[in-house]
Amino acid sequence: MRYLLIVLSFFSLCLFGEVTAQTENDYSHKEPSRDGIGKIYRGREIAHVMGFHGVAWLERDSREEEENTKLTISKLPINENSKVADVGAGSGFYTFRIADKVPKGKVYAVDIQKEALNYIKNKAEKQKVDNVIPVLGTEKSPNLPENTLDLVIMVDVYHELAFPKEMLLNIKKSLNPTGKLLLIEYRGEDPKVAIKPLHKMTVEQVKKELEANGFKLTTNGQFLNIQHFLLFEKED
């Protein structure tokens, strides 16, 4: 019996090791470039996360016009009852605009930086907004309730995810059967978009990564000034 247990334990360790190796093999590594972390996912170097010290840039007066924020909000597939998550919410620039559109719903403001969540919490209290829920996420999970959300949105965030595969898996779990994932990303195809290359993405690269994780592109919106509007749904 003792011998059998040893054999089974060894087999389990080997199996676990194989799974871990497969997970690690999703990523490769190189010397980091100036704006990257040196970690490669499907041919793309992951960009550095912008810290919350950049809050002034997130809240800049020119952002509304530069990014066509009102148009973006008007195109969201939501109604007054929708449950939405703003992953990488930062200052809540989009969070509070979405909250106005879902007065009977909820907006989960997800970030991995406590400073951002404190900022959003204080803003919600000052403005008496009761349908915004701050959520502390991790690099691998947004920590959202499963099978609940109508829409998850990431605005200029996806390219900074340190673990895109794991994050997409957990986002997928949080969506209800008809739930959708929206990525807003600066257009990597356009050299006139004055954003650092690692902080932009092409449609081809976004599709490559999301299709590999069970998402299908349903809307390739090119109506914004400098960004893609890429709406995905879960593959069966």
Query: Which residues of the chain are under the pLDDT cut of 70?
Result: 1-25
Q: What is the pTM of this model?
A: 0.87
Quick one: pLDDT at residue 203?
98
pLDDT tens for residues 32-58? 999 999 999 999 999 999 777 778 878
In CATH, the number for domain 50-234 is 3.40.50.150
Q: Residue 204: which of 195, 196, 192, 212 has the closest Cα?
A: 212
Quick one: pLDDT at residue 163?
98
Q: Provide the 3-class DSSP secondary structure of residue 216.
A: strand
Quick one: pLDDT at residue 24?
54
Separation in Å, CA 77 to CA 102, 122, 148, 178, 189: 11, 28, 15, 11, 26
Give, to the nearest 10 degrees, the angle between helix 93-101 and helix 114-127.
40
Burial 180-205 (b: 16+ CB within 10 A, else e): bbbbbbbbbeeeeeeeeebbbbebeb
User: What residue type is assigned to position 159 of the chain?
Assistant: H
Quick one: pLDDT at residue 56?
81
Q: Tokens 């200052």: give the residue.
A: 91
pLDDT tens for residues 133-175? 999 999 999 999 999 999 999 999 999 999 999 999 999 999 9
Quick one: pLDDT at residue 55?
81
Q: Domain coordinates of the chain in residue numbers?
A: 50-234
Quick one: pLDDT at residue 111?
97
The answer to whether the Cα torsion of 161, 172, 100, 187 is positive or negative is: positive
Quick one: pLDDT at residue 1?
44
